[in-house]
Amino acid sequence: MQGRPLDLAEPDGQLLTWMFDRSVQTIARIPFLGAGLSPEQKDINEKIKLYDTMCALRRPADEVTLPAVDAVLSAERAELIAGLKAANPPSILSPSEQCTLFGRLSGLLSAATGAYTMRAKHHNVPVYEAESRHDWDALLHHFYSHDTEIISPYVMLEQSIHYPRNDLADNLVLAEDPDSKQKIVDALWLRYSNASALCQAALQSAGRLDDSAYNLAQSAVNQANAMQGIFRQSYLKDPDALKKLVTVRSDSEPRMASAMRFSLCRFPEKSYSPTSE
């Protein structure tokens, strides 16, 4: 996303313009620091905290030994043990997580190492895309689940999904008089001005963090400022120009797509309470 120049006027669109038309604005994944945070900043901090909790590396309890696995996977088990010792993550697996992983450790190591694909190639069997997915499908089916579930009921394969409609195009087409169209444009300008301010606040917080975090925040600021500047120069005072551009772009946008895998994300009850709507 960062590597391609931003161009709101591109008729065929790109990811950033697709997001722009649907009122989605990227910001850096930087927690806001200090007192007096706004509801939006608190909400973002909560989401970052939830993401970090879900994705954190965890280890078994100190007194627990990894169970035995199939003999052909003994080297992978040893590598996993060495990696956990080297990383020494502070977080411990929950009893439910440990039960799931320990009871299916052979399947996890087999899928994670691409064992099906490697065995097929070893015997000079051509591996096409459909066959190469067996390992990854196995990971989802057996590990995207609770410890009481043998197979995950939350994984769907080969699903057709509908893309969200272009809200900006819909609203501009329905606006019949100049005042209505200008209100839509003014609201969009306010939304992106607020997003730019959030990026600036994240940059200030990132100044206390490492260089990679600061560079990420700076990229988000540059992107937000570029989008805001282009919008102000070309469309803020000319809603008809924006309507023409967005409706042409909307006509060429895909309406559906095929997803090889689609997983429903479950959250434990009361695990996340947003601080703002």
In 3-state terms, what secondary structure has residue 2? Answer: coil
Q: Which residue has the higher pLDDT, 20 or 81?
A: 81
What pLDDT score was predicted for residue 129? 67
Task: Inform me whether the pLDDT recorded for 45 exceeds 80.
Answer: yes
Which of 38, 7, 13, 273 has its CA nearest to residue 169? 13
Kindly list the distances between the CA atom of residue 114 and the CA atoms of 78, 110, 129, 130, 270, in Å, as whole numbers in the listed order. 17, 6, 13, 14, 36
Q: What is the C-alpha to C-alpha distance for residues 160 and 262, in angstroms, rounded to an integer?
A: 9
Chain Cα centroid distance, residue 266: 15
Q: Are strands 155-162 and 256-263 parallel, antiparallel or unpaired?
A: antiparallel
**Could you please report the per-residue DSSP string of 58-116?**
EE--TT--PPP--GGGHHHHHHHHHHHHHH--SEE--HHHHHHHHHTHHHHHHHHTTHH
Task: Inform me whether the pLDDT recorded for 69 exceeds 80.
Answer: yes
Percent of the chain with pLDDT over 70: 87
Chain Cα centroid distance, residue 58: 21
Task: Inform me whether the pLDDT recorded for 267 exceeds 50.
Answer: yes
Q: Which residue has the higher pLDDT, 58 or 1?
A: 58
| pLDDT bucket at 3, cuts 50 / 70 / 90 | very low
Q: Domain limits of the chain?
A: 52-155
Let me know: does 43 contact 274? Beta carbons within 8 Å: yes
What pLDDT score was predicted for residue 110? 85
Please state the rounded mean pLDDT for residues 76-91: 90
What pLDDT score was predicted for residue 274? 46
Query: Model-level pTM?
Result: 0.69
Instruction: Please state, rounded to an integer, the average pLDDT across all residues of the chain.
Output: 82
Let me know: does 146 contact 100? Beta carbons within 8 Å: yes
Q: Which residue has the higher pLDDT, 72 or 181?
A: 181
Q: Please tell me the least confidently modeled range out of 16-20, 89-93, 100-104, 240-244.
A: 16-20
What pLDDT score was predicted for residue 207? 87
User: 108-166: per-residue pLDDT in tens?
Assistant: 888 877 766 777 777 787 777 666 677 778 888 888 877 788 888 888 888 888 888 88
User: 156-207: per-residue pLDDT in tens?
Assistant: 888 888 888 888 999 999 998 999 999 999 998 998 888 888 889 989 888 8
What pLDDT score was predicted for residue 8? 67
Task: Inform me whether the pLDDT recorded for 12 exceeds 70.
Answer: no
What pLDDT score was predicted for residue 149? 82
Q: What is the C-alpha to C-alpha distance for residues 140 and 77, in angstroms, rounded to an integer?
A: 20
